[in-house]
Chain A
Amino acid sequence: MSAIRSRLMMSALLAGGIALIPATACDRLPGRPKAAQSAQEGSPEWTVEVFNTSCRGCHAQGAVGAAVPLMDSAYWRAASDEQVTRGVLEGQGMLMPAFGLSGGGPFTPAQASALTRGMRALWGGGAQKSPEISGTLVAGNASNGKSVFDVACAGCHGVGGSAGSVTDPMYLRLISDQGLWTAVVAGRKALGSPAWNEPMPGRPNGLTTVEVADVVAYLSSQRPRSMSELKP
């Protein structure tokens, strides 16, 4: 008799337990679908989501990612919002495709500039663009640039240099003047390249703003003007 009783009790408890799951905690159960709401445009969540699907492949943190790292305050100190937004919308050089609607991409101009502001807020380290140096290309003197390059850069970045040559015509063909400017100004810390005002071998105090412009002008002058100049 007691066996039957305990069996009945067990069954009742089990049934009650099953019924309790939905009855008590229905709203907090993990399976409940979340109301479909996409993150507010310009919010940090939205920025991260957009960055992760559209930008991260090339522009990820540190040395991860092949192009200029956007999760890096060094870049945001050098870049202006207008320039980043324009890059997003129109692309840049030969390897950054246009992400604006008119270029076949997903973003309206408003979204591109919201994305830029969102990224600066997340990764700019609180810094506005550094007033010390322009974010966009400034014209310089190529022959002065060559002498600066030979002293400050060629040790690592010249032909046969430890970091590989930046005067390689194929490399120069692929990178725009603005790309060179950003590379010199922001550096690639994680890959061992200093920013413009950081110590370099042969230049303990880095470069001056004029020297940056001159070096970029020199590198630009080394770029082959047509494909026929390239000898692979």
Chain B
Amino acid sequence: MKPPRVVGMAIDWVEARTGAVAFLAPLLTHHVPRNAKWWYVFGSATLMFFTIQLVTGVCLATLYAPSAAEAWESLRYIDEEVPFGWMLRALHGWSSNAMVVMMAIHMLQVFLHASYKFPRELNWVTGVFLLFTVLALAFTGQVMRWDQDAYWGLGIGASIADRIPVIGNQVRGLLLGGPIIGGETLSRFFALHVFVLPGAALGLIGLHLALIMKNGISEMPKVGATVEPATYRAEYEQRMEKDGVPFYPDAAQRDMVFCGACLVLLVVLAAVYGPFGPGGQPDPTLIDTNPRPDYPFLWIFGAVSLLPPASETAVMLVAPLVGVLALVAVPFFANAGERAPSRRPGMVLIASLAVMAVAALTWEGKTSPWSPVMNAWSALPTPEHFLAGRTPLEVQGANVFQFAQCRNCHSLDGLGGERGPALDAIATRMTPDQLMRQIQQGDGNMPAFGRNLDSAQMTALVSFLSTLRPEFEAPAVIPGAQLPLPVQRMPGEVVTPVAVGSQ
């Protein structure tokens, strides 16, 4: 297959005036390690998702009204009236999540393979800055939805800023464009989301790519193939000259196949699950709301929710700082020596712990078991097997259980809140007296209900709870009650107590 002569002539014409081919050809054909294979596709996929973000983002910017009064309505307009509008929003939203995920995988791979070692320290540093830029894009993007999640997300962000000593107030004012969340806030975040952060990302990506060209793609780590800063560069270039393969088409085709697969997945996700939100109107007077941050921040939400209250300020302000510094510092205190994961067990451990922590906290944030289920009392019926064969008083007790909203924090049959313990077998653990005391006075995490329930309600509730145990398990008893019953004493008689099990 030969291209027509006219194509060649056109290329020559442009080349003579710009030198574009002479500039691009070495970029495309620079040598990359032969053994890199599929490990190195994640960075390209991240770049593809960023490109999709740019394209869909520009399209959305032509439709979105960045004013507090109109933003929410304009999303409805995009979703329902603009042809393909919902698809545009779905692609932008899913691609945003995909970019964060792909970036995390890319970073993890670089970390595990120690590709950040000499001379690629600054590749890593620009990558870390890109990570935070992309997370900032994700957060400001969530604000663009201007729904309840956005409103409360901003509220939480602002109150974290407010905790900064001395200048907290000023930082919050700078963030929100005033003392409260309002029209100014949206304008501010819109400017960040469409001008400042994408500009920063573009610059950082350019730098990142330039550094890749300058330093070359790192080889697969091999036990014993250590990095010696004095000789590394010369040896690397020699190896590439001898054994490398040109980026295009050898490595590029793998990138393209992987990006193609990612693209298919993205379109399917967008088509099946649709756009994110918008949730309810961002009205702070609507308290019947259950705001959650977007996926990339669920783990932070989980962590912050689980912090002991006394440690909140210290952890919220210090942990991010330590995190950023630690990430940036990685290549500086370990920039030479072994790259193979098998020789760096400490680093592998750190990476595994980080992944597990983020995964576990994301799960916690997603399920947020600490949140009461506010409509459980009126929406989740008492299961039949906890009612059958009960006395009228016990059935009324089940009514008290719903009425007093116990269900919002305590589950039966796995349904209900998880803030308190499940009560399916509470009668095996607590006697009626203990139940009575716990409900009246509260304890641990539980508020006292003594003033909310009269003695009839309390009696009914306790008698219902005392039936909650499997038939084959004995009811709870007070430890002392296990002692043999004392012998009826005659006046003057002395009875020696007998310890259990001494016979």
- Interface residues, chain A, with chain B CB atoms under 8 Å away: 11, 14, 18, 21-22, 26, 29-33, 35-36, 52-60, 62-67, 94-97, 157, 163-166, 168-171, 173-175, 190-191, 227, 230, 232
Among the stretches B17-25, B111-119, B235-243, B268-276, the one at the interface with A is: B268-276
Determine whether the beta carbon of B403 is less than 8 Å from that of A30: no
A59 to B398, CA, bound (A): 12
Using known A-B contacts A26-B87, A32-B86, A56-B380, determine if residue A163 contacts B391 with beta carbons closer than 8 Å. yes
Contact residues in A for B205 (Cβ distance below 8 Å): none
Within the complex, which residue of A31, A66, A96, A174 is in contact with B86, where a contact is CB–CB below 8 Å? Answer: A31
Contact residues in A for B79 (Cβ distance below 8 Å): 33
Q: List 24 A-B contacts (CB under 8 A).
A: A18-B263, A21-B268, A22-B271, A31-B87, A31-B274, A31-B275, A33-B79, A35-B80, A54-B378, A56-B379, A57-B377, A57-B402, A57-B407, A58-B402, A59-B381, A66-B399, A163-B391, A168-B393, A171-B392, A174-B400, A175-B392, A191-B388, A230-B455, A232-B459
A56 to B393, CA, bound (A): 20
Lowest 6 CB-CB distances: which A-B pairs, in order? Answer: A164-B391, A31-B274, A66-B398, A60-B381, A173-B456, A65-B381
A173 to B461, CA, bound (A): 13
Q: Does B395 interact with chain A (Cβ within 8 Å)?
A: yes
- Encoded as 1 (CB less than 8 Å from any A CB) or 0, chain B from 79 to 96 comes to 110011011001000000
Within the complex, which residue of B267, B376, B399, B460 is in contact with A18, where a contact is CB–CB below 8 Å? Answer: B267
Within the complex, which residue of B86, B264, B270, B393 is in contact with A164, where a contact is CB–CB below 8 Å? Answer: B393
CB distance from A168 to the nearest CB of B (A): 5
Per the 8 Å Cβ criterion, residues 364-378 of B in contact with A are: 375-378
CB distance from A156 to the nearest CB of B (A): 11
Determine whether the beta carbon of A31 is less than 8 Å from that of B90: yes
- Encoded as 1 (CB less than 8 Å from any A CB) or 0, chain B from 421 to 455 comes to 00000000000000000000000000000000011
Using known A-B contacts A29-B272, A66-B398, A165-B392, determine if residue A227 contacts B264 with beta carbons closer than 8 Å. no
Within the complex, which residue of B83, B380, B384 is in contact with A57, where a contact is CB–CB below 8 Å? Answer: B380
Q: Does B396 interact with chain A (Cβ within 8 Å)?
A: yes
- Interface residues, chain B, with chain A CB atoms under 8 Å away: 76, 79-80, 83-84, 86-87, 90, 260, 263-264, 267-268, 270-275, 375-384, 387-388, 390-396, 398-403, 407, 454-457, 459-460
A157 to B381, CA, bound (A): 25
Contact residues in B for A230 (Cβ distance below 8 Å): 455-456
A157 to B390, CA, bound (A): 12
Determine whether the beta carbon of A168 is less than 8 Å from that of B402: no
Contact residues in A for B402 (Cβ distance below 8 Å): 57-58, 66-67
A60 to B378, CA, bound (A): 10
A171 to B384, CA, bound (A): 20
CB distance from A89 to the nearest CB of B (A): 15
CB distance from A171 to the nearest CB of B (A): 4
State the majority secondary structure of interface residues on B: helix
Using known A-B contacts A63-B388, A163-B391, determine if residue A174 contacts B382 with beta carbons closer than 8 Å. no
Determine whether the beta carbon of A174 is less than 8 Å from that of B87: no
A35 to B86, CA, bound (A): 11
Determine whether the beta carbon of A157 is less than 8 Å from that of B392: yes
A142 to B401, CA, bound (A): 32
The CB with the most chain B CB atoms within 10 A, among A21, A95, A165, is that of A95
**Beyond A18-B263, A32-B274, A95-B457, 11 additional pairs, beta carbon < 8 A:** A22-B87, A30-B273, A31-B275, A33-B274, A57-B378, A58-B399, A59-B381, A65-B381, A66-B401, A174-B456, A230-B455
Q: Please, which residue of chain A has its CB at the minimum distance from the CB of B382?
A: A66
Contact residues in A for B87 (Cβ distance below 8 Å): 22, 26, 29, 31
Contact residues in A for B455 (Cβ distance below 8 Å): 170, 227, 230, 232
Determine whether the beta carbon of B375 is less than 8 Å from that of A30: no
Contact residues in A for B390 (Cβ distance below 8 Å): 164, 191
Q: Please, which residue of chain A has its CB at the minimum distance from the CB of B266?
A: A18
CB distance from A83 to the nearest CB of B (A): 19
Q: Please, which residue of chain B has its CB at the minimum distance from the CB of A97?
A: B403
CB distance from A157 to the nearest CB of B (A): 7
Using known A-B contacts A21-B267, A26-B87, A168-B391, determine if residue A64 contacts B384 with beta carbons closer than 8 Å. yes
A18 to B76, CA, bound (A): 26
CB distance from B192 to the nearest CB of A (A): 26
CB distance from A22 to the nearest CB of B (A): 5
Contact residues in A for B86 (Cβ distance below 8 Å): 31-33
Determine whether the beta carbon of B273 is less than 8 Å from that of A31: yes
Contact residues in A for B459 (Cβ distance below 8 Å): 170, 232
Within the complex, which residue of B80, B83, B267, B384 is in contact with A62, where a contact is CB–CB below 8 Å? Answer: B384
Contact residues in A for B391 (Cβ distance below 8 Å): 163-165, 168, 171
CB distance from A120 to the nearest CB of B (A): 20
A170 to B407, CA, bound (A): 22
Contact residues in A for B376 (Cβ distance below 8 Å): 57
Contact residues in A for B375 (Cβ distance below 8 Å): 53-54
Determine whether the beta carbon of B457 is less than 8 Å from that of A94: yes
Contact residues in A for B264 (Cβ distance below 8 Å): 14, 18
Determine whether the beta carbon of B382 is less than 8 Å from that of A33: no
Contact residues in A for B378 (Cβ distance below 8 Å): 53-58
A58 to B375, CA, bound (A): 12
Within the complex, which residue of B80, B90, B379, B457 is in contact with A53, where a contact is CB–CB below 8 Å? Answer: B379
Using known A-B contacts A14-B264, A29-B271, A31-B275, determine if residue A56 contacts B400 with beta carbons closer than 8 Å. no
CB distance from A32 to the nearest CB of B (A): 6
Within the complex, which residue of B80, B272, B395, B454 is in contact with A31, where a contact is CB–CB below 8 Å? Answer: B272
A170 to B460, CA, bound (A): 7
Contact residues in B for A14 (Cβ distance below 8 Å): 260, 264
Q: Please, which residue of chain A has its CB at the minimum distance from the CB of B78?
A: A33
Within the complex, which residue of A33, A63, A95, A166 is in contact with B399, where a contact is CB–CB below 8 Å? Answer: A95
Determine whether the beta carbon of B272 is less than 8 Å from that of A64: no
CB distance from A161 to the nearest CB of B (A): 9
Contact residues in B for A164 (Cβ distance below 8 Å): 390-394
Determine whether the beta carbon of B273 is less than 8 Å from that of A171: no
A164 to B397, CA, bound (A): 13
CB distance from B329 to the nearest CB of A (A): 42
Using known A-B contacts A22-B267, A31-B86, determine if residue A170 contacts B273 with beta carbons closer than 8 Å. no
